[in-house]
Copies of this chain bind each other. A is one copy, B any other.
Amino acid sequence: MRPIIPDYLAEVLGQVEPDASGKPAADNPQLAAADPERLGAAFATVDGQLHGAGDIDVPFTIQSISKPFAYALALADRGFGPVLAKVGVEPSGEAFNEISLEDGTGRPLNPMINAGAITVHSLVAEAGSGPAERVRRVLDGLSAFAGRQLDMDEKVCASEMEHAHRNLAIGHMLRSHDILTEDVGAVVDGYTRQCSVLVTTRDLAMMAATLANRGVNPLSGEQVVPEGVVRQVLSVMFSCGMYDAAGDWTTQVGIPAKSGVAGGLIGALPGRIGIATFSPRLDGHGNSVRGVSLFERFSSDMGLHVMDVPSAGRAVVRSNHVLGSGPDALRVLELQGGIGFAGAERVVREVLETDPQESRTAIDLTRVHAIDDVARRMVLEIARRLTLDGHEVYLVDPETVIPDPEPGDGGRVTVIHEVRQAVLPSA
């Protein structure tokens, strides 16, 4: 069988290819010299599978796409408090070359604008680290996200430093507000190096997949940053990631994303997929023209918008019946599918409405495919309350979807592998 997804990707690339609008970033001669016709797209699944089409192995500089990853590293290295004290999480509603500092404090509005990203760069690695350590930490951290050792493009970096006046201006402004406390030149130099890390579309897809996979690189299995950090990063990417067009992107594409002026664009769907595209032609907002088109297609073709309601599944309560009769009768609640808060609520309700008179109850999880923390706690609370009401409670859990069940104060459950283990011979 021919692979389906590469076929799809190749088809979609073919559709956006004729659009020759936009052009490579003009500010930096190295970027301006990029081949404008390069085009690639890749999907990386949360279990590490990569599907790609086009120029997915051409290296280019990561540029602003480094921002969410460096932000993740800073949050992991310093904790939320110190980072949030210096960089906000408000959308700026302004073009990517605005300074956007908070009145009074001088705190950059968010980590996706340059002022925020420069500050974030100063916050990677442990407190007290020097410029070289920060750069090493960023390079190692981005490499961990990508699952392979990355390098920097020294030429682009040197070229950027020659034109770094705006970033130096931002750096000194931050320094004047004591948001930056390090040497301004060294931080801007480090940030420029961060932006000059060379990646391929393949790398970016894997980096995005690491975000989508709770911070665990799907290939290496390394927990690059904690899960809570990932949630923060994805939230900020969603509301602030796409310069000056955040609103349109949020409503039309609905994928947490980040673009870079070298033509890269990533998106990360929590729990689902990492996406990357590459095309150096930029629109007026500094976003890749074809990249934006590709993401619009991906979002609508595959229902990837975060506000898309997932397909309603079957009822979580597959059956509610009694086995046997008399004092040994067993009330069986057979559950199925993925259970989150809403599903657990339905189970609670089923128990309340049934008001089981049988003294023995089995909650059958055999067909439960996934269960959230909150749902797990709620199922155990049901068990506890039933125990308190005088029930003997069985958890039928052959595949251990609830490991080490502890119903808490006064509750008690017996774990079995099959319902019939709870059926008394007399029944």
- A345 B49 Cβ-Cβ under 8 A: yes
- A272 B386 Cβ-Cβ under 8 A: no
Cβ of A420 under 8 Å from chain B: no
- B1 A49 Cβ-Cβ under 8 A: no
Cβ of A314 under 8 Å from chain B: yes
Query: With contacts A170-B169, A246-B90, A254-B231 known, is A370 near B310, CB below 8 A?
Result: yes
- A389 B251 Cβ-Cβ under 8 A: no
- A303 B372 Cβ-Cβ under 8 A: yes
Cβ of A285 under 8 Å from chain B: no
Query: With contacts A231-B254, A272-B340 known, is A91 near B314, CB below 8 A?
Result: no
Residue of B nearest to A314 (CB): B369
Which residues of A, 35-53, contact B by the 8 Å Cβ criterion? Answer: 43, 45-47, 49, 51
- Which A residues are within 8 Å of any B CB, using their own CB? 1-5, 43, 45-47, 49, 51, 88-93, 109-110, 163, 165-173, 175-176, 184, 212-214, 227, 230-232, 234-236, 238-240, 246-248, 250-251, 254, 256, 270-273, 301-314, 336-338, 340-342, 345-346, 348-349, 351-352, 355, 367, 369-374, 378, 381-382, 385-386, 389, 399, 401
Complex alpha-carbon distance, A355 and B251, angstroms:
40
Distance (whole angstroms) from the CB of A408 to the closest CB of chain B? 12
- A309 B168 Cβ-Cβ under 8 A: no
Distance (whole angstroms) from the CB of A82 to the closest CB of chain B? 16
Complex alpha-carbon distance, A234 and B307, angstroms:
7
- B169 A165 Cβ-Cβ under 8 A: no
- B270 A309 Cβ-Cβ under 8 A: yes
Q: What are 12 A-B interface contacts by the 8 Å CB criterion? A: A4-B378, A4-B385, A45-B342, A45-B346, A46-B342, A165-B184, A172-B172, A235-B250, A239-B250, A273-B341, A303-B340, A310-B338
Residues of B within 8 A of A231 (CB): 251, 254, 305, 307-308
Complex alpha-carbon distance, A92 and B184, angstroms:
28
Option from B91, B175, B302, B345 in Cβ contact (under 8 Å) with A246: B91
Of A171, A248, A336, A340, the most chain B CB neighbours within 10 A belong to A340
Residues of B within 8 A of A311 (CB): 338, 340, 370-373
- B313 A338 Cβ-Cβ under 8 A: yes
Complex alpha-carbon distance, A389 and B4, angstroms:
14
Residues of B within 8 A of A371 (CB): 311
- B1 A307 Cβ-Cβ under 8 A: no
Residues of B within 8 A of A45 (CB): 342, 345-346
Distance (whole angstroms) from the CB of A254 to the closest CB of chain B? 6
Residues of B within 8 A of A372 (CB): 303, 310-311
Complex alpha-carbon distance, A307 and B254, angstroms:
12
- A1 B382 Cβ-Cβ under 8 A: yes
Residue of B nearest to A188 (CB): B172
- B1 A351 Cβ-Cβ under 8 A: yes
Query: With contacts A93-B90, A176-B165 known, is A369 near B4, CB below 8 A?
Result: no
Residues of B within 8 A of A3 (CB): 348, 352
- A346 B47 Cβ-Cβ under 8 A: yes
Complex alpha-carbon distance, A150 and B81, angstroms:
45
Option from B110, B163, B168, B251 in Cβ contact (under 8 Å) with A247: B110
